[in-house]
Chains A and B, each alone.
Chain A
Amino acid sequence: MKIFLNGEAKEVVDSCSVLDLLTEMDIVGQRLAVEVNEEIVSKSRHADYSFGEGDKVEIVHAIGGG
């Protein structure tokens, strides 16, 4: 199944959850926020929320800025 992660196409297994993706990226527990199709997926839902074909996923964090 294909999703778009931070603007780039990515293959994930069917029923891949947000938590599965974060685990694969080795960023579980970091300060970040996840959005799917412009809707926030809160931390409490990371384990249960599974992606669908073509989902647009954004994972963001805080960086230096004024």
Chain B
Amino acid sequence: MQDDKLIIADKTYNSRLLVGTGKYKDMDETRDAIEASGAEIVTVAIRRTNIGQNPDEPNLLDVISPDKYTILPNTAGCYTAKDAVRTCQLARELLDGHDLVKLEVLGDQKTLYPNMVDTIEAAETLIKDGFKVMVYTSDDPIIAKRLEEMGCVAVMPLAGLIGSGLGICNPHNIRLIKENATVPILVDAGVGTASDAAIAMEIGCDAVLMNTAIAGAQKPVLMASAMKKAIEAGRESFLAGRMPKKAYASASSPIDGTFF
């Protein structure tokens, strides 16, 4: 398993779990959960500084250091291509030229479903401007392929609505997307518990990105550890190749040599 690495934009990672930093109780819990998850790529949001805030208050990037983690700024909260592009440009300035971004352009506050028209427009602009784009997308295999062909470095279909914890609602679509892809496919959104993460990996996904499944657990640090194991178990299970399903029983102990 040591040779089984995740490669995104020519950089190699050991962990196939990517985590967000939102919704934690405080900076200590954020740090501890991310540590326990084993994640190497960590998403952050870009927002206005609070005017008049306590200057001694710890900054997220002091806790989640860019020296230790690959920081993945997102465009969460953006509903237009323009806002998403602007957010990525600010993120690149903030992170001293770091150009790996998670693009998401939302379409609707109730579902946070991606607006694919604006997502494609933003992706085009960002790629032309030198960004390496990991893109949040609907689970349409044709759109996913189009995003890959445009030059996105990873394609990240939702498996369920953001923050819903509904699990992998669309295993067949995720499988279709993965079958057609030559860039990493990550499930982004939907995972609620460890078995969901394992299912995503068993389908053959290259990695999973999650936030609320960990931060929203009763014990986030313990759930982070569970997710790490689930991702590893799911990946090994995928590589091992599962047994075929059968309609009837097949005894595990030999019939020969019975003495009764």
Contact of B93 among A6, A38, A42 (CB under 8 A): A42
Bound-state Cα–Cα, A62 to B91, Å: 8
Nearest opposing residue in chain B for A5, CB measure: B51
Q: Which of A35, A61, A64 contacts B20 (CB 8 A)?
A: A64
Say which size band chain A's interface belongs to: 20 to 34
Chain B residues lying within 8 Å of A8, measured Cβ to Cβ, are 51
Assess whether A64 is in contact with B24, with CB atoms less than 8 Å apart: yes
A40 touching B44 by the CB < 8 A rule?
Answer: no
Interface centre among B21, B46, B90 (most CB of A within 10 A): B90
Given A31-B61, A40-B89, CB of A64 within 8 Å of CB of B51: no
B51 touches A63 (CB 8 A): no
State whether A60 and B46 are in contact (beta carbons under 8 Å apart), knowing that A25-B51, A31-B61, A32-B94 are contacts in the complex: yes
Instruction: Decide if A58 is an interface residue (CB 8 Å cutoff).
Output: yes
Given the interface pairs A8-B51, A27-B55, A38-B86, the reply to whether A62 lies near B212 with Cβ below 8 Å is no
A63-B94 CB under 8 A given contacts A5-B51, A30-B59 = no
Contact count A vs B, C-beta below 8 Å: 99
**CB-based contact B86/A64 at 8 Å:** no
Judge whether A40 and B90 touch: CB under 8 Å.
Answer: yes
The answer on a CB contact under 8 Å between A33 and B90 is yes
Interface contact B49-A6, CB-CB below 8 Å: yes
- Contact partner of A65 (CB less than 8 A), chosen from B20, B59, B89, is B20
Task: Report Cα–Cα, A18/B209, bound state, in Å.
Answer: 37
B90 touches A7 (CB 8 A): no
Taking CB atoms, residues of chain B closer than 8 Å to A61 are: 46-47, 49, 59-61, 94
What's the minimum C-beta distance from B176 to chain A, rounded to whole angstroms? 25
User: Contacts of B137 on A, CB cut-off 8 Å?
Assistant: none
CB-CB under 8 A from A64, the residues of chain B are 20-24, 30, 44-45, 60
Whether the Cβ atoms of A66 and B93 lie closer than 8 Å is: no
Q: Which residues of B contact A26 (CB under 8 A)?
A: 55
- Chain B residues, CB < 8 A from A32: 49, 94
Docked complex: A40-66 residues within 8 A CB-CB of B: 40, 42-43, 58-66
Which residues of A sit under 8 angstroms from B21, Cβ to Cβ?
Answer: 63-66
With a cutoff of 8 Å between Cβ atoms, the chain B residues found around residue A63 in the complex are 21, 44-47, 60
- Closest chain A residue, CB of each to CB of B212: A66
B163: chain A residues at CB < 8 Å are 66
- Please name the 7 residue pairs, one residue from A and one from B, whose CB atoms are nearest each other, closest first: A65-B45, A66-B20, A66-B211, A33-B93, A64-B21, A33-B94, A62-B44
Interface contacts beyond A27-B49, A62-B91, A64-B21: sample of 15 additional A-B pairs, CB < 8 Å, sorted by A:
A8-B51, A25-B49, A31-B61, A33-B90, A40-B89, A43-B93, A58-B48, A62-B45, A62-B46, A64-B24, A64-B44, A65-B44, A65-B76, A66-B74, A66-B215
B interface list, Cβ under 8 A from A? 20-24, 30, 43-49, 51, 55, 59-61, 71, 73-74, 76, 86, 89-91, 93-95, 162-163, 209-212, 215
